[in-house]
Structure 1
Amino acid sequence: MADDLQSASQSDIVVVGDLQAKVAEVGPLGLLDILSTPYSINSVTADTIELRQTRTLIELQKTDASAQFLFNGFGAPVIAIRGFTAEVRLDGARSQYSAQFPLEFVDRIDIIKGASSFLYGFAAPGGVVDYALKRPEGRAFVTATASYRSDTNLLGRVDVNQPITDTLGVRVNALYEGGETYLQDDAQRRIGVSGAADWRPTENLLLRADYTWQRNAPLSGGGATFTPQPGVALPEAPDPRRRYNQKWERLRVIVQSYGLRGDWTFAHDWTASLRARGFIQTRSYFSSGGLSLGPNGKIDNAEFAFNDGQNSFQQQAKINGLVRIGAAEHHLTLSVDRQFDPNATGTGFGFLPIDSGTLDNPIDIPRPANFGLPSDPKYRTSRTLQKAGTLADRIELGPWTALLAVRYVDFSQANFDPAGATTSTYDVNRFTPTIGLSRRIGSHASVYASYAQSLEQGATPPVSAANPAPTPLGPVGSDQFELGVKAQAAGFTATAAVFHLRRDYQGAATRADGVTPGFIDDGKQVHTGVEATLSGKVAPGWNVIAGVTWLDARIREAAGFALNGSTPDGVAKFQSTLFVEHEAAKGLFINAGLFHASGREIEVPNNRRIGGFTTVDAGIRWVGEVAAHKLSINANVENVLGERYWGGEYFGVLSLGVPRQFKLTISTGL
């Protein structure tokens, strides 16, 4: 199997019950059998994405209970894994706006928990969400899909795969989305295209290239976010269909990504790889947001405009090979990486008070005379450069697999003011090791234990923080211990894990007066948790996606602000998800889903919190043939009971949950 995985491409992925992949891309280690990895990995396939009609990163929590909704504003959705902000990547490459990458162009989503820093360099310890782009397959096909969402939002897309010769294939995906969303007076416009080509000029050489472009532009309104004023009692979540921002608000996000890769099998069991990926992204916003939530539901509108550019360029060279010493097989990896992130911003303006309303009576404000999207970014704000080397030995001896690995990171960061002067710099050089041990139990199960250290970029305090000055802080270190068990049968995958993470704490904290905002770089953030998942066909005619996570998160060893024992903001102690689908008749499926999250603190020390929530979904789908063409119709209602809830909290900012909405997708193979 190791030989097969060594040369596997994405078209080789075997799907278990159409819902769970057997393998995942595990950083520089490449494509690995999930049962042999000493980490918790949830690999969500395109079939699961289609089944749940998933369009955004936020909706991913319904397929993994360890994923938590934090924020959904400014065109930059944010989630957490195991209570820590998750980094989103595309084919292993980091980008500030990967969270905006269209899921319609994604073949698989690998949620890799634990060893983030060893696998990917600077990254939060909870986990990495890695999108795998759709690539050419060995057969020709055309799939056309039309989707509808409340109120009149329509999306059309096409997926074309065409082998040109026996050694060259191309795949093109395109989409257009337009129409009104469930939000009052809000219209959505999105257009995107993605192309990928794979060419094997010789038996031992595979060359790949891809390019993706997307323009996302909500034309009016936009989902509101609220910042509760210090000491104000939190109201119940308001109607998420109602417009609290102004209808002249504009947002535009343009995302471009390109990738180049070459894999050369230069000797038996040895492969050399070169890859490069770049992201070029701009975001422009003219907003009436910045909604400050005061007593008795009062909301203060503040006009602001900004634009920025978040770019990222990554190169990697690596060698993977197999050495047999006696009965042991050593799968060796040596890689060197370079990642350069230059960021820029424009000459926008921020938070000019314009008027006030209430949650019960939001106001319409005339469009300002200075209305308009800002132009391209004018000056650089920061740049980071990571240079890294990775050495790993994955040793297989009978039913045992051991992983011994270390990554060396040379990280530098510089921040600049509008005049170009350097305001702060950070430099760090560090080794981050990981060790893991797994044992197969028969051919369908394994147990494992692992330890990993992580390193991540420091936090940027919000402007409102009185301590310290609002500049990025230094890098943060962490480590994690994990024990787990995995099982795969013919149709399903089941996992369970216990984990313990310790991370240097950097976060917002209210001063002793209970009112003045501050920011602290002190103490440890300790997360201890248990998680379990089940995905796939559990019996003939029955599909299940289920998960549960219990997480105890505390701040320890902090000298100031009386933080010890507090729960970090935005972290849910308990989450669970359940989706059950039954084939009631040939090709006809009925399904229902349930998602629950417990309450979350919104400040440290813990004085205020938002309540927990439970949502229920229900749907029906039909799969069959019409005129010799495959046809599927998938309809479901999200949040059937119309639950109103605060969906997430991030740096003191609250995002609303999703109301009841109807979703319909029709897909056909041509």
Structure 2
Amino acid sequence: MSTPNLSVSILTLSIAQAFASPAFAFDTADAVDTPSSMAEVIVTASKAPAAQRASVGGFSDAPLLQTPAAVTVISQQTMQDLQIRNTSDAVRLDASINDAYNAVGYAEQFSIRGFKLDNNSSYRKDGIAIPGDTQIPLENKERIEVLKGLAGLQAGMAAPGGVIDFIVKRPTATALRTVTVEARERGTLYGAIDLGGRLDDTRFGYRINVAAERLRSYVKGADGNRKFISGAFDWQISPQALLQLDLDYQDKSQITAPGFQLLNNTTLPAGVSADTLLNLQPWTRPVDTITSNLGLRFQYAFDDNWHATISANQHSFKRDDYTAFPYGCSAQDLFPGFCGNGDYDVYDYRSLGETKKPLSAQAMIQGKFATGSLRHELTAGVATFHRKDHAGRYVYDYAGTSNIYHPVIVPISNGVQGPVRETRNDKENSVFVQDIVALSPNWKLHAGLRHIDVDGFQYVLKADPSVAEVRAKHDFLLPNVALVYNPVDNVAVYGAYSQGMEHGGTADRKAANANQELSPSRSKQIEIGVKADITPELMVAASLFQIRKGLEFQNANNVFVRAGQAQHRGLELSAQGKASRDLHIGVSVTALNSQQSSTGEASLDGKRVPNVPAFKSAVNLDYRVPQVAGLSVNGSWEYAGKKAFEFNNNTFVPAYHVANLGAAYVMRLAGKQAVLRATVNNVFDKFYWRDVTPESDGYLFPGASRTVKVSAQFDF
């Protein structure tokens, strides 16, 4: 079936379902008759707003006030209000998160607290690891939870910056029918359906999400399309037992937009436009990515104090990667770097049949008990993660020369990809335990430990057609301890120490040890913080942290190594919630001192880590206009200080400001509620370098130019 036909078919069926009066819908009258014992298990909400609770900081849903870590929660309502359709736009609300080789049309990749996240372990779905190698769909996500800093206890192997956890929408207690349509000025069209409720037999619930999108990027020609469908179902087997199933499928096809390099390898490109596509060749094809998830969770309550949870997820990822890749200037013998006149070499890059199929599972038991005067909240469990990757020897052949100001057509190469074969086979097993001990009414001790066994095989493609098999077996013990003090009920002060492990980085294709992965690396973090619920709907927080880990880079001998230390010290401030009856605020500020030391290379020691501003802030305001019923206006402002482009800090990109404005109007249409929204992003049409990654010898990506979006949401 063709892409347009499939998109239309999915939306047509979903809209028909939304407008129908389904016989199985669970209405308000049904809700009244629901047994109270059932509601205790299904309904997990509390009096606190959803954005003030999260599970990513530990092993169960808990108030942010009592979580001894820096956690950000981005709710579905916030994303809908701001017309956010991807994670890149969502994380702009947190100043500690930055792009990290986040190319339009490719995988969305980020750093937290200056450390790039691991695509294979730092992204989660309901706490279970999933690859972050493509745009993770938001249509079936209730919220995004971000744990900033080490997550060794919570997640096992993960980058020291933290983890991003996507919480799946679950069946609703009452019938839900929502249709959203959106258009953007460059021709992007978007439609989504959200259906939820319970069957006549109220033990069974469902949540269906469908979306289709015609993508017209701010980069001219980086176009594509996306289709998505998901389902979440639950079965209340008994008052004590709940079984949940979720599955999703996404097909995304979009031409990727490569970044720029320095002119003469010394100067930022001048006079270029944010809409310039360096991948503009007749043989350019979209990057095709298909992903799916099948998740299962079983919860059983033994009594009011003890319960067990078993969860698992099977992820599937397949990608065909095509790019007319810009790199270097052979005319001036620059590798990297574009020619001084804007010329650049074009390479035909093709990597077809890439697959990943990680299987993750976790079982844990949680309970509350007392030993004398001490009260305990205990969590103990086991987890396993099995990853299999396949790929072929990719094509990377010189095709010709083009120019950033005057594109030139070049012929495709005659390269042929090698056969697809297994490239990785990793198994990670862990055992974890955490005890939260109430030492007194005002003091709580959080103590946890995770033991990890890693047994991995890497199959490294050599310069000749042969393959070298590299096996690595490791085991680690990761401690986490924190002390929380509540001077008053609405204020918490905490101090925490934690350790984490991450997989070693992989050498670039041009390094002497090309494609080889370094051994795992340990990181250590100290953090102190304070949180306060100013009101039940407004939280403020501050945290000071220090993270240390080994620094990985390509040295003067062209060898990818881990040497010396990266030390990141920072201050984070935030405020989130209702400042008054009509005003909702979101404020995030991060000051970060990142420094490299003891590398053995004078050009690196004492320098800042690339692609991370020393100061960044994000402010979002939403004001309900009391004089006009149903009208609200919003605005946001992001500031990022200058960033180093290379590890030696020879080049810095300028600081930037970006402002956005929007409005929403709630009205009744044919007796149903409708919400009309309009947003203008980058109001002043500022050109700025949003991402200046050192990856692959360094690339610069411009931010989006001014974009107008309008949408309508209908609730039936």
The alignment's TM-score, normalised by the length of structure 1, stands at: 0.92
Q: 231, 255, 270: which is aligned to 1:195? A: 231
1:547 aligns to 2:582 (yes or no): no
Q: After the TM superposition, which residues 5-154 of structure 1 pair with which residues of structure 2 at under 5 Å, given as runs? A: 12=45, 16=49, 21-26=51-56, 29-73=59-103, 75-86=106-117, 87-97=122-132, 100-154=135-189
- Call closer, same or farther: CA 1:208–1:455 in 2, change over 3 Å: same
Maintained 8 Å contact 1:150/1:181: no
Return the offset for 1:602: 1.8
Distance in 2, Cα, partners of 1:83 & 1:379 = 34
The correspondence for 2:243, drawn from 194, 197, 207, is 207
Tell me if the contact between 2:224 and 2:286 (Cα under 8 Å) persists in the aligned partners.
Answer: no
Give CA deviations for 1:464-523 in whole Å, capped at 9, x if unaligned: 234x443111101011011111122232221110001111111245x3xxxx85533111
Q: 1:611-626 residue pairs with structure 2 within 5 A? A: 611-626=654-669
1:260 matched to 2:296: yes
1:541 maps to amino acid = D
CA deviation profile, 1:601-643 (whole Å, cap 9, x unmatched): 1222221222221111111111232232111111111111111
Tell whether 2:482 aligns with 1:436. Answer: yes
Check conservation: 1:237, 1:644, Cα contact below 8 A: no
1:190-238 deviation line (CA, Å, top 9, x unaligned): 00101000111101101010101000001xx432223447843222473
> Match of 1:498?
544
Change (3 A) 1:526 1:191: same
Q: Which residue of 1 aligns with 2:712?
A: 666
Equivalent residue, structure 2, for 1:239: 273
SS in 2 for 1:12: coil
Distance in 2, matches of 1:8 and 1:29, equals: 17
CA distance in 1, matches of 2:42, 2:564: 44
SS at the partner of 1:21? helix
Tell me, yes or no, if the aligned pair for 1:208 and 1:261 is still in contact at 8 Å.
Answer: yes
Deviation at 1:560, TM superposition (A): 3.8
- Once superposed, what is the RMSD of the aligned Cα atoms? 2.3
Deviation at 1:559, TM superposition (A): 2.6
Q: Distance in 1 between matches of 2:94 and 2:299?
A: 32
CA distance in 1, matches of 2:102, 2:371: 52
In 1: Cα distance, 2:492 partner to 2:61 partner: 18
3-state SS, counterpart of residue 58 of structure 1: helix
Contact kept, 8 Å, 1:274 with 1:317, in 2: the verdict is yes
Counterpart pick for 1:556 among 581, 590, 597: 597
Indicate how the Cα distance of structure 1 residues 27 and 207 shifts in structure 2: closer, same or farther if over 3 A, else same.
farther
Matching residue within 359, 366, 375 for 1:313: 359
Q: Hey, what's the Cα distance between the residues in 1 that align with 2:656 and 2:559?
A: 29
- Contact 1:387 1:410 (8 Å CA) reproduced: yes
CA contact under 8 A between 2:401 and 2:410: conserved in structure 1? no
* 1:521 paired residue among 559, 562, 582: 562
1:391 paired residue among 425, 429, 433: 433
Return the offset for 1:598.
1.3
Q: Which has the higher contact order (CA 8 A, sep 6+)?
A: 1
Of Structure 1 and Structure 2, the greater strand share is in 1
Q: Give, in whole Å, the separation in 2 of the partners of 1:538 and 1:270.
A: 38
Q: CA deviation at 1:649?
A: 2.6
2:423 is aligned to 381
Query: In 2, Cα distance between the equivalents of 1:229 and 1:423?
Result: 39
Q: Does 1:596 align with 2:639?
A: yes
Quote the Cα distance in structure 2 between the aligned partners of 1:639 and 1:259: 38
Separation in 1, partners of 2:102, 2:542? 29
Q: Which residue identity is paired with 2:110? A: I
Identical positions, percent: 24
Q: Deviations over 1:366-425 (max 9, x none)?
A: 6x38699x89x8201112211100011011231222101100011122211467854322
Match in the other structure for 1:407: 450
**1:62 alignment partner, SS class:** helix
| SS across alignment from 1:44 | strand
Aligned-pair distance for 1:8? 6.6
Q: CA deviation at 1:116?
A: 0.8
Match of 2:339? Answer: 295
Q: Provide the residue aligned with 1:608 in structure 2.
A: 651
Normalised to the residue count of structure 2, the TM-score between the two structures is: 0.87
What is the deviation of 1:113?
1.7
Paired position in structure 2 for 1:222? 256
Report SS of the residue matched to 1:481.
strand
Is the Cα–Cα contact under 8 Å of residues 13 and 21 in structure 1 kept in the other structure? no
Asked whether the 8 Å contact 1:390–1:407 carries over to 2, the reply is yes
**Alignment-mate amino acid for residue 323 of structure 1:** F
State the AA in 2 paired with 1:295: C
2:683 partner amino acid: V
Residues 132-163 of structure 1: CA deviation (Å, up to 9, x unaligned) = 01111111111000011230110100000020
Distance in structure 1 (CA, Å) of the matches to 2:414 and 2:287 = 16
- Report the counterpart of residue 655 of structure 1 in structure 2: 701
Q: Give SS of 1:554's match.
A: strand
1:180 to 216, 234, 242: 216
Q: Which residue is equivalent to 2:498?
A: 452
Structure-2 separation of matches of 1:160 and 1:572: 42
Find the residue that maps to 2:302 and give its secondary structure: strand
1:13 touches 1:22 (CA, 8 Å); kept in 2? no
The 1:634/1:155 distance shift into structure 2, 3 A limit, reads: same
Deviates more, 1:245-254 or 1:310-319: 245-254
Cα offset, 1:185, TM superposition = 2.9
Point out the more displaced range, 656-665 or 329-338: 656-665
Q: 1:14, CA displacement in angstroms?
A: 5.4
Q: Which moved more, 1:271-280 or 1:241-250?
A: 241-250
How big is the shift at 1:289?
Answer: 2.1
Q: Using the TM superposition, give the Cα deviation of residue 33 of structure 1 relative to its aligned residue in structure 2, in angstroms.
A: 1.6
Aligned pair partner of 1:486 in 531, 541, 563: 531
Question: 5+ residue gaps in structure 1?
Answer: none
* Alignment partners' CA distance in 2, 1:77 and 1:621: 28
Superposed displacement of residue 441, structure 1:
3.6
Instruction: Measure the CA separation in 1 of the matches of 2:215 and 2:455.
Output: 44
Question: CA–CA distance in 2 between the matches of 1:490 and 1:99?
Answer: 37
Q: Partners in 2 of 1:95 and 1:252 — Cα distance? A: 18
Query: Whole-Å Cα distance in 2 between the matches of residues 230 and 477 of structure 1?
Result: 37
Q: Is the 8 A contact 1:225 1:291 kept in 2?
A: no
Alignment partners' CA distance in 1, 2:472 and 2:43: 38
Deviation at 1:27, TM superposition (A): 6.3
SS, match of residue 240 in structure 1: coil
Query: Does the aligned pair in 2 maintain the 1:153–1:188 contact within 8 Å?
Result: no
**How many residues end up aligned between the 2 structures?**
651
Does the 8 Å CA contact 2:48/2:536 hold for their aligned counterparts?
A: no
- SS for the counterpart of 2:325 is coil
Distance 1:8 1:442 in 2: 31
2: CA distance, partners of 1:28 / 1:576: 27
Structure 2 residue identity aligned to 1:32: A
Matched residues in 2 for 1:104 and 1:435: separation?
36
Q: Name the CA shift for 1:101/1:15 in 2 (closer, same or farther; >3 Å).
A: farther
**2 CA distance for matches of 1:68 and 1:410?**
31
Distance 2:511 2:676 in 1: 50
